[in-house]
Amino acid sequence: MLAGKRILLLVAGGIAAYKSLDLIRRLRERGASVRVVLTASGAKFVTPLSLAALSGDKVYGDLFSLTDESEMGHIRLSREADLLVVAPATANILARMAQGLASDLATTVLLATDKPVLAAPSMNTRMWEHPATRANIATLMSRGTLFVGPGAGNLACGEVGDGRLADVMDIVAAIESYFSASAPLAGKRALVTSGPTFEAIDPVRFIGNRSSGKQGHAIAAALARLGADTTLVSGPVAEPDPAGVRVVHIESAREMLEACQAALPADVAVCAAAVADWRVRDAAGQKMKKGASGTPSLDLVENPDILATLSAAGNARPRLVVGFAAETENVIANAQAKRAKKNCDWIVANDVSANAGVFGGDENTVHLISANGVEDWPRMAKDAVADQLAQRIRDHLSKVA
Ligand code: C5P
């Protein structure tokens, strides 16, 4: 859910500061990276060592540290974050934020940032209800600061009432909902196929191919990062399951088709798998033995074409269907013919001739073929191809919404 998100956590000085340790764990479990800025009073409640151990990063605290500033300037702290989270947000730090004070590293970063800020207030009830705090909260809200909590309950000071830091899981939920609401493909469903298929000859042998799944997996990850509810149907690959993606592992083309149909409806389908064109008509139930009957011949039948089937799915057809064309010659002409034959919307064509180094490699040179013509993309990392394609899918879906 939070895969790849970068959170800058600003920990101020309240008794609830110890809960920031759990917050860091929960965020990292969900795939986010967390960098911590600790105020001087925060350091009275929780140690930099614990925060560094849990965040897996150095903890920043001193605005005037020459080493910190040369390693990671206060502007970079904000620039390298997707969201700033102030937890616990004490009455004091909220007042300084409302005033625009830059009296330490935390408030300087908060003043210098153009990134969204989410605050989780935590303080004594009377402080929370004080007109000064009410006015500060109103000011911050009017400037767009997001808030989660506080909750009501027993406070560490022995009083009962509002002012309790929101539960850690509620803070996590607020962070998740911020990212899903701001994600450009939020509410959209994506289906991606990736990897080879294995077609059984007998229980130990199969027909397969050299697809690594790198490109398809990268596309599923890129769509998920943009907020799409993404299902990846993958043949056998060495690539790990991408974070934030629902992965269905299959072996044969027929299993892949079944899994794709089960994943519909979808707004976009990207068929990046190298599906075997043929399978053995009757795979042997037992291991075939070398011996008297001579060299066996394989009786092959054609596999279903998943891309063509999805493109012809009538009402269930995804609004955008994208195929791949791996070609060794006449790359563009063959890909254009494939687009027409399979009735898909776009074809991503790439040259997989032996000297192109595409199979198993980390880079790809592709051409995007659509009704509008051919676009030649420069040679890029497969991850960058995936990001570009995901952006184009986003643009397209927002136009035909
Ligand atoms: O016909 P060819 O295999 O070259 O077409 C490649 C495109 O068609 C790819 O997008 C691939 O994922 C898809 N395909 C498919 N099912 C097949 C064969 C190819 O989805 N049986």
What is the mean predicted confidence (pLDDT) over 260-275? 97
Of 291, 282, 283, the closest CA to residue 203 belongs to 283
Q: Is the pTM of this model over 0.75?
A: no
Structure tokens given for 80:
């390298």
Go through the domains of the chain in sequence order and give each one's CATH number: 6-181 (3.40.50.1950), 189-400 (3.40.50.10300)
Do the beta carbons of residue 219 and residue 195 sit within 8 Å? no
Asked if 310 and 231 count as a contact pair (C-beta separation under 8 A), the reply is: no
CB 346 less than 6 A from any atom of ligand 1: no
CA of 343 to the centre of ligand 1 (A): 12
Q: Which of 205-214, 242-251, 316-325 is the least confident region? A: 242-251
* Pocket of ligand 1 contains residue 331 by CB under 6 Å: no
The ligand 1 atom nearest the CA atom of 310? 20
Give kind and range of the element (H or E) at residue 223: helix 214-225
CA-based torsion, 81, 85, 89, 94: positive or negative: positive
User: Cβ neighbours of residue 142 under 8 Å, at least 6 residues apart?
Assistant: none
Angle, helices 48-55 vs 19-29, to 10°: value is 10
80 vs 82: CA distance, rounded Å: 7
Residue nearest to atom 4 of ligand 1 (CA): 325
DSSP codes joined into one string, 297-333: ---EEEPP-HHHHHHT-GGG--SEEEEEEEESSSHHH
177 or 54, greater pLDDT: 54
| CA-wise closest residue to 8 among 118, 164, 104 | 118
* Average per-residue pLDDT for the chain: 91
**Tens digits of residue pLDDT in 59-102:** 998 877 766 776 667 788 988 899 999 999 999 999 999 999 99
Tell me if 306 CB under 6 Å of ligand 1: yes
- What contacts 116, CB < 8 A, 6 or more positions away? 83, 84, 144, 146, 178, 182
pLDDT in tens, 123-163: 999 999 999 999 999 899 878 889 998 877 777 777 777 88
Query: How big is the chain, counted in residues?
Result: 401
Q: Six-digit token pair at 388?
A: 């570009």
CA–CA gap between residue 308 and residue 213 (Å, rounded) = 20
Instruction: Using the mean position of ligand 1's atoms as its centre, give its distance from the Cα of residue 308 in Å.
Output: 8
87: amino acid identity, one letter: A
Which of 88, 75, 84 is CA-nearest to residue 45? 88
Structure tokens at 359: 């199979």
How many other C-beta atoms are found inside a 10 Å radius of the C-beta of residue 313?
A: 17
**String of b and e for 294-306 (b: at least 16 CB within 10 Å)?**
eeeeeeeeebebb
Is the beta carbon of 325 within 6 A of some atom in ligand 1? yes
Cβ-contact 79, 3 below 8 angstroms: no
- Per DSSP bridges, beta strands 278-280 and 268-271 are unpaired
354-369 confidence digits (pLDDT tens): 666 666 677 888 999 9
C-alpha to C-alpha distance for 172 and 73, rounded to whole angstroms: 27
